[in-house]
Amino acid sequence: MEKKQTAATESHVLVFPLPIQGHINPMLQFSKRLASKGLKVTLVTSTSIAHSMRAPHESAINVETIFDGFQEGERAASPDEFLKRYKATVPQSLAELIEKHGSSPYPVKCIIYDSVLPWVLDVARNTGISGASFFTQSCAVSVLYYHEIQGSLKVSSEAEAVGVVSLPSLPELEFNDLPSFVNGAGSYPAIYDLVFSRFSNIDDADWLFWNTFNGLEEEVVNWMASKWPIKPIGPTIPSMFLDKRLEDDKEYGLSLFKPNSDACMEWLDSKEPDSVVYVSFGSLAALGEVQMAELAWGLKRSNTSFLWVVREPEKEKLPNNFIEETKEMGLVVTWSPQLEVLAHKSVGCFITHCGWNSTLEALSLGVPMVAMPQWTDQPTNAKFVSDIWKVGIRVKVDEEGIVTQKEIERCIREVMEREISNEMVKNSEKWKKLACMAVDDGGSSDKNIEEFVTKLVCNSN
């Protein structure tokens, strides 16, 4: 699609994600959609991740880095320490960036900030620009967090949740389907605060963008829309894997990890169609050592080829000799080009933690899932994958909280079984079609993006 040359070209927006992979990816893809409508877009990242960032070679998106309290390569001792220093430093750095652009030909009109950083709206107000909040999770999960804040989701233990939780617009949910944080902060108080803070000034934001799309979670979106003027703009799948409209979409990522791309793709090329299980738990989740071993031996027992992403710090939890013993059937890498992997014809099943991006990616690329949620929003996403969208099955956890090797084997076999996987692929076709329609020219998400661009341009003239 050709880039529109309109007055929008004069309008400059900043896009500011929390510096973690699962938030950078959707906000970068959204930036590309905005840039394709002629806006000048700057994705703002910060010093703590600058050393590990691998930017696309060529892109319509500028990337600028601000100081976030950490020198390049410096690591915080804990999430609490990181977030404390980050919040104390970033408002000033952002304000300076906005002021710097004030005297350029492209003054900033609006900042689109990660919804978990609601204080960015104060920076916007103080510098005289508008502020838009971007929600990186599903609408269903947001509704659950909202009910938790309102006190209408009073569930603090499994015992209390005997039976089901019934809330307007949501399917009936059991305790294990709820996001982990509705059960309290556990050992992550700072992340807990972050998760719930996004509602603190939701009424004040000029725009509310959601990474979802019409039809996927319709009732929940309608319920949210009855409270706030939310704008679904997703799914934020790179255009080259979905509608194929954006011309400058060859290099689609801005990765904090170095993918073993050639090794993965060459290995996949050597496999039969639909014969490989792809396993990834995203950028943050850490499995316990026992769980890691059960998963490893489950993969071996399944006797199915597997491509497993085990991030560097997780590697030492692999059982001794596992890589050696399975080298004929498996490939273990520290990071993969996930979209390319999911789009590869050899991949027939995705064992996933159900992070929202991974879920949308598998759904849009038609890969049946084995849902193995770990924490935060993942249990709710897993519920939708298995019971609502019917594009995967969910593992059963034993009394010790472990998914055993036998269970892993069972799930792989079930999903790899042609009849079942065909049914799931058929179901994903429907979602893929809706996803494509939403972002395509004149689709619901595209219209929402267009509306934002038009209003921004009108207001700045």
Name the residues that contact ligand UDP, by CB under 6 A. Answer: 21-22, 25, 280, 282-285, 309, 335-336, 338-339, 355-358, 361
Closer Cβ to ligand UDP, 123 or 439, answer by number: 439
Spatial separation of the C-alpha atoms in residues 215 and 225, rounded to whole Å: 14
**DSSP secondary-structure letter at 2?**
P
CB of 299 to ligand UDP, least distance (A): 16
The phi and psi torsions of 16 (rounded to 5 degrees) equal: -130, 95
Nearer to ligand UDP, 306 or 335 (CB): 335
Q: Residue 354 has which token pair?
A: 């159900």
Q: How far is the CB of 260 from ligand UDP (least distance, A)?
A: 9
Minimum gap (Å) between residue 248 Cβ and ligand UDP: 19
Q: Which residue has the tokens 């000048």?
A: 40
CB of 24 to ligand UDP, least distance (A): 9
DSSP state of 384: I
Q: How far is CA 324 from the centre of its chain?
A: 33
Closest CB to ligand UDP among residues 63, 367:
367
Q: What is the nearest approach in angstroms of ligand UDP to the Cβ of residue 220?
A: 18
225 versus 284: smaller Cβ distance to ligand UDP: 284
* Residue 234 DSSP code: -
Hey, how many other C-beta atoms are within 10 angstroms of the C-beta on 104? 9
Cβ nearer to ligand UDP, comparing 357 with 404: 357
Tokens 């294990």 correspond to 176
Distance CA 278, CA 276 (A): 6
Least spacing, CB of residue 18 vs ligand UDP, in Å:
10
Residue 189 C-alpha from the chain's centroid: 21
399 φ, ψ to 5°?
A: -60, -25
CB nearer to ligand UDP: pick between 129 and 385: 385
Amino acid letter for position 129 = I
Please state, in angstroms and as integers, the Cα–Cα distance from residue 158 to each residue in 2, 351, 354, following that order. 53, 26, 21
Going along 358-423, which residue ranges are E strands?
369-371, 392-394
Q: Which residue is nearest to ligand UDP (CB)?
A: 22
- Taking a C-beta distance cutoff of 8 angstroms, is the pair 319, 296 a contact? yes
Provide, rounded to whole angstroms, the least separation between the CB of residue 82 and ligand UDP: 16
Q: Pick the closer one to ligand UDP by CB: 358 or 448.
A: 358
